[in-house]
Amino acid sequence: ILNVEQSPQSLHVQEGDSTNFTCSFPSSNFYALHWYRWETAKSPEALFVMTLNGDEKKKGRISATLNTKEGYSYLYIKGSQPEDSATYLCALNDYKLSFGAGTTVTVRA
Amino acid sequence: EAQVTQNPRYLITVTGKKLTVTCSQNMNHEYMSWYRQDPGLGLRQIYYSMNVEVTDKGDVPEGYKVSRKEKRNFPLILESPSPNQTSLYFCASSLNPAGAEGEQFFGPGTRLTVL
């Protein structure tokens, strides 16, 4: 089992503010790191798949970075909007998928 | 429409009564997987399959069985369900097991209650 930790567990952000949160892992022995967005009563949806140290991915106002040497990935949300409210999951893929418990983001209007 | 389907979506059953949750994908994906989601624990992988007739245990396989006789289908079988298997279950698939094409496409979920 790959131990994936996400912090904080939850956060509240004012609409228009930017925020970021962390996925950390003890080993770089995996094929890819995934980020998923999971809205209440829906299924998780993939945001990014990152494979290389130094990878940076961007989709609209959301971006992510990967540092395999120091064992972390950051997810950034720029100019948060109410529709960004969701739980964001990080997972390591070494054929088996190991998920963190997620960071729940609530954007207040 | 490309999708992963699961049935049933909701199920209430009793201890010991065998049940099967079906999962099907129409994207010709190689990799399929089952997860359970419990409060505070996140998604935990039960079983995965990298291709037809190839299945492997995930992190929490006890009490579950799977089969992969066809590429599109990956049923989850609970031979003798117990109350600790009450959970939300997700099936997922991906084009390839790893790398950039390993992103998981999730089904809608099956909420199982075992009394």
| Cβ-based contacts of A32 with chain B (< 8 Å) | 98-100, 102
Of the pLDDT bands very low, low, confident and very high (cuts 50, 70, 90), residue B25 is: very high
Phi first, then psi: give them for residue A82, nearest 5 degrees.
-55, -35
Q: What integer pLDDT is reported at residue A1 of this predicted model?
A: 66
List the end-to-end C-alpha distance of chain B, in Å, as a whole number.
36
The answer to whether the CB of A16 falls within 8 A of the CB of A80 is yes
Selection from A100, A61, A59, A105 nearest residue A82 by Cα: A105
Contact with chain B for residue A41, Cβ under 8 A: no
Low-confidence ranges of chain A (pLDDT < 70): 1
- For residue B41, the tally of other CB atoms under 10 A from its CB is 12
Question: What does each C-alpha distance from B30 to A43, B11, B26, B112 come to in angstroms?
Answer: 20, 28, 11, 26
Whether B14 has a pLDDT exceeding 80, the answer reads yes
- Lowest mean pLDDT, pick from A52-56, B60-64, B90-94: A52-56
Q: Which amino acid is at A68?
A: T
Which residues in chain A have Cβ-Cβ distances shorter than 8 Å to B106? 43-45
Q: pLDDT for A29-58, tens place per residue? A: 888 999 999 998 999 999 999 988 888 999
